[in-house]
Amino acid sequence: MCKYKFLGIILLIVTLSICKLNAQSLKIITENDIRNGIEQTKDYFPLIKGKRIGVVANPSSILPDHTHLVDFLIDSKMNVIKVFSPEHGFRGKAEAGEKINNSVDKKTGIRIISLYGKHKKPTKEDFNDIDIILFDLQDVGARFYTYISTLAYVMEAAAENNKPVIILDRPNPNGFYVDGPILKQEEKSFVGLLPIPIVHGMTLGELAKMIKGENWYPNDQELKIDLTVIPVIGYKHNYIYKLPVKPSPNLPDFESIYLYPSLCLFEGTIISVGRGTKSPFTIFGHPKLNNKKRLDKYAKRNTFTPHPIPGASLKPKLNGQLCKGFDLRKVARNYKTQKPQLELKYLIYAYQNTDNKEGFFNNFFNKLAGNKTLQQQIKSGKTEKEIRNSWKEGLESFKRLRKTYLLYP
């Protein structure tokens, strides 16, 4: 018996060592360590010169000197006809869920077509006066981040109208791990169009190749598309990329982007993730959350009160109410001590320590989770380990498929 107990201890030590090694092998990089697709002008300028160009862009579509892609193209005498803008708008002033109308860019006079709200997919008329689409958005690596859906709709429309697409690729700041349940077809929506896990571990260029190769178009069509991906030079998947600009108003820093895949599930519950504070997606809480029980050695108990502020001037969840919860910024800063994974313990803790269990989840949760199962698992008291075990088969299958489309080691 002692022999087996000893072997068990050794196995545990080896497992913990491997987890720690995986975390410690991560390296934080900045824009100075790589060259993004936008910088590879010798590779894409010949493809767009003399063409009428439609650009899919937002404030993250910048060069290292922070010159915007559209301004750069115009200065380079390229014929930019129009801009297609995703959620949050072209210049990034719109908030999550805010309606965005078509407009004209004040700086350049170029027409802006919104790809959010009812008009998620470009029409034939939108493409009538352009020859090629240049796509440059900064993703954050979570399935429910809507730039992935915008990519899928743009590719579908381009394939239907025989318009080539060029992706100017950028690193995935959460590209160092793959985790979470695979999206089920019945939960398909704009916050989840593709049958991929919550954390997919791919860049938008790699995902574009996967959409093309697997015919994963929003309307389930088999289409042919002229796709070119301009890759990032110097990027690897075990790098954590610190973005030079915030990709959307409520992801202002490294900590919020690192925690976003795990905390965004709270958007489908009564719990606030700090919208309307200076720390969105790094804190969570609720007026009736009992936060006296220890959560994590890096999770700090705190209180906060959401109020309308820039980036959350629309009435935030629990507006004006004192919320009790946790500050997780130290969790993100100590990433080297943890195994990279989608953390369910925050969600489970909040459910078990809030007295409103009946109304804890809302109708949006299953869309974010990508299935009806996760909510039921949490309600029935399943442990995090039991829930994670239910993902194994789907994750292993996805990882095999993912390998065929990777551009980076």
Amino acid at 37: G
DSSP annotation of 145 reads S
293 CB-contact burial (10 Å; exposed 0-12 / middle 13-18 / buried 19+):
exposed
- H/E segment holding residue 255: helix 254-263
From first CA to last CA, the distance across the chain in angstroms is 44
Instruction: Tell me the β-bridge partners of 197.
Output: 182
Coil/strand/helix, residue 173: coil
Beta-sheet pairing, 165-168 with 323-327: unpaired
Question: What is the value of pTM for the model shown?
Answer: 0.92
Q: What is the pLDDT of residue 10?
A: 44
Q: How far apart are CA 183 and CA 194, in angstroms?
A: 7
3-state secondary structure 305-350: CCCCECCECCCCCCCCCCEEEEECHHHHHCHHHCCCCCCCHHHHHH
Other Cβ atoms closer than 10 A to 21 = 10
Q: What is the pLDDT of residue 23?
A: 59
Handedness of CA 241, 250, 293, 353 (dihedral sign): negative
Q: How far apart are CA 342 and CA 328, in angstroms?
A: 14
Q: What is the pLDDT of residue 107?
A: 87
253 CB-contact burial (10 Å; exposed 0-12 / middle 13-18 / buried 19+):
middle
List per-block mean pLDDT (blocks of 10 residues) for the chain, which spans 409 residues: 47 43 78 97 98 96 96 98 87 52 82 92 97 98 97 98 98 98 97 98 98 97 97 98 93 97 98 97 98 96 95 86 98 94 98 95 98 98 98 98 98
Q: What is the pLDDT of residue 313?
A: 66
DSSP annotation of 356 reads -
Tokens of 308: 């309308």
Contact, 261 vs 198, CB < 8 A?
A: yes
Q: How far apart are CA 242 and CA 160, in angstroms?
A: 36
